[in-house]
Structure 1
Amino acid sequence: MKLPDSPQKSKFTQSLQWVFNPLQLLETTARAHGDCFTLWLTSNKPMVLFSNPQAIQQIFTAQLEQLDARGSSQLLQPLLGDNSLILLSGASHQRQRRLLTPPFHGERMKAYGQVIAKITNQVINGWKIGEAFSVRDSMQEISLKVILQAVFGLREGERFTQLQELLSSVLDLSGSPLRASMMFFPALQVDWGTWSPWGKFLHQMRQIDQLIYTEIQERRDHLNPSRSDILSLMMSARDDNGEPMTDVELRDELMTLLVAGHETTASGLTWALYWIHHVPEVRTKLLAELDNVGENPDWNEVSRLPYLTAVCQETLRIYPIIMLTIPRIVKSPIEIMGYEFQPGTLLSSCIYLTHHRPDLYPEPKQFKPERFLERQYSQYEYLPFGGGNRRCLGMAFAMFEMKLVLVTVLSQMELALIDNYQVKPTRRGITLAPSGGKWLVATSQRQKVKISVEA
Structure 2
Amino acid sequence: MQDLSPPDTQPALVYFSSPKALEDIFTAKPEQLSAGRGNQILQALLGEHGIVLLEGPAHQRQRQLLMPPFHGDRMRSYVQVIQEITTQVRSGWSVGTTFAVRPAMQSISLQVILKAVFGLEAGPRAEQLRQVLTRMLDGFSSLWGAMFLFYPFMQQDWGAWSPWGRFLRLRQQVDTLIYAEIAERRAQPQPERTDILTLLMAARDPQGQPLSEVELRDELITLLFAGHETTASALAWALYWVAFLPEVRRKLLAEIEGLPPTPDPMAIARLPYLSAVCQETLRLYPIALSAFPRVVKQPLEIAGYALEPGTLIMPSIYLAHHRPAVYPEPKQFRPERFLERQFSPYEYLPFGGGDRRCIGSAFALFEMKLVLFELVSQLELALVNPKPIRPIRRGLTVAPSDRLRLRITGTRQGATGLYEARCPTPTT
- Which interval holds the TM-score relative to the shorter structure? over 0.9
Instruction: Please point out which of 424, 433, 439 is paired with 2:390.
Output: 424
1:98 positional shift: 0.4
Do the aligned partners of 1:4 and 1:48 also contact (CA within 8 Å) in 2? no
Q: Which residue of 2 aligns with 1:86?
A: 52
Alignment of 1:139-178 (within 5 A): 139-178=105-144
Residue 352 of structure 2 is aligned to residue 351 of structure 1 = no
The alignment's C-alpha RMSD in Å is 1.8
Percent identity for Structure 1 against Structure 2: 57
Q: Deviations over 1:44-66 (max 9, x none)?
A: 75421101100100000011111
1:278 positional shift: 1.0
Separation (CA, whole Å) in 2 of partners of 1:450 and 1:156: 32
Residue 221 of structure 2 is aligned to residue 221 of structure 1 = no
Q: Deviations over 1:401-431 (max 9, x none)?
A: 0000000111111100113133221111211
Separation (CA, whole Å) in 2 of partners of 1:278 and 1:269: 14
Separation (CA, whole Å) in 1 of partners of 2:301 and 2:294: 14
Separation (CA, whole Å) in 2 of partners of 1:153 and 1:380: 35
1:86 positional shift: 0.7
Query: CA, structure 1 residues 376+5, in 2 after alignment: closer, same or farther (shift >3 Å)?
Result: farther
Instruction: Please point out which of 155, 161, 165 is paired with 1:199.
Output: 165
Structure 2: gaps (5+ residues): 418-428
Separation (CA, whole Å) in 1 of partners of 2:414 and 2:146: 43
Query: CA, structure 1 residues 217+450, in 2 after alignment: closer, same or farther (shift >3 Å)?
Result: farther
Q: Deviations over 1:13-33 (max 9, x none)?
A: xxxxxxxxxxxxxxxxxxxxx
1:447 positional shift: 4.2
**SS at 2:286's partner residue?**
coil
Q: Which residue of 1 aligns with 2:204?
A: 238
**SS at 2:291's partner residue?**
coil
Q: Deviations over 1:250-282 (max 9, x none)?
A: 000000111111111001000100111111110
Q: Which residue of 2 aligns with 1:373?
A: 339
Query: CA, structure 1 residues 448+141, in 2 after alignment: closer, same or farther (shift >3 Å)?
Result: closer
Separation (CA, whole Å) in 2 of partners of 1:49 and 1:295: 48
**SS at 1:194's partner residue?**
coil
Instruction: Please point out which of 250, 265, 270 is paired with 2:231.
Output: 265
Separation (CA, whole Å) in 2 of partners of 1:201 and 1:108: 34
**SS at 2:49's partner residue?**
coil
Alignment of 1:275-424 (within 5 A): 275-424=241-390
Separation (CA, whole Å) in 1 of partners of 2:151 and 2:184: 38
Amino acid at match of 1:236: A
**SS at 2:344's partner residue?**
coil
Q: Deviations over 1:176-225 (max 9, x none)?
A: 22332222233322211121111111110000000000000000001111
1:341 positional shift: 1.0
Separation (CA, whole Å) in 2 of partners of 1:59 and 1:333: 13
1:126 positional shift: 0.9
Alignment of 1:42-57 (within 5 A): 45-57=11-23
Do the aligned partners of 2:5 and 2:12 also contact (CA within 8 Å) in 1? no
Amino acid at match of 2:74: R
**SS at 2:52's partner residue?**
coil
**SS at 1:449's partner residue?**
helix
Query: CA, structure 1 residues 104+410, in 2 after alignment: closer, same or farther (shift >3 Å)?
Result: same
| Structure number with higher relative contact order (C-alpha < 8 Å, ≥ 6 residues apart) | 2
Structure 1: gaps (5+ residues): 7-42
Separation (CA, whole Å) in 2 of partners of 1:273 and 1:419: 14
Query: CA, structure 1 residues 5+282, in 2 after alignment: closer, same or farther (shift >3 Å)?
Result: farther
Amino acid at match of 2:150: F
Do the aligned partners of 2:322 and 2:331 also contact (CA within 8 Å) in 1? yes
Q: TM-score, normalised by structure 1?
A: 0.88
Alignment of 1:244-255 (within 5 A): 244-255=210-221
* Runs of 4+ residues deviating >6 angstroms: none
Amino acid at match of 2:397: T
**SS at 2:382's partner residue?**
strand
1:128 positional shift: 3.3
**SS at 1:441's partner residue?**
strand
Do the aligned partners of 1:183 and 1:429 also contact (CA within 8 Å) in 2? no
**SS at 1:446's partner residue?**
strand
Separation (CA, whole Å) in 1 of partners of 2:413 and 2:181: 44
Separation (CA, whole Å) in 2 of partners of 1:448 and 1:60: 42
Q: Which residue of 1 aligns with 2:412?
A: 446
Query: CA, structure 1 residues 440+334, in 2 after alignment: closer, same or farther (shift >3 Å)?
Result: same
Separation (CA, whole Å) in 2 of partners of 1:4 and 1:124: 55
Separation (CA, whole Å) in 1 of partners of 2:12 and 2:318: 19
1:305 positional shift: 0.3
Q: Which residue of 2 aligns with 1:22?
A: none
Separation (CA, whole Å) in 1 of partners of 2:292 and 2:415: 43
Query: CA, structure 1 residues 172+201, in 2 after alignment: closer, same or farther (shift >3 Å)?
Result: same
The count of corresponding residues between Structure 1 and Structure 2 is 415
1:382 positional shift: 0.2
Separation (CA, whole Å) in 1 of partners of 2:187 and 2:414: 49
Q: Which residue of 1 aligns with 2:99?
A: 133
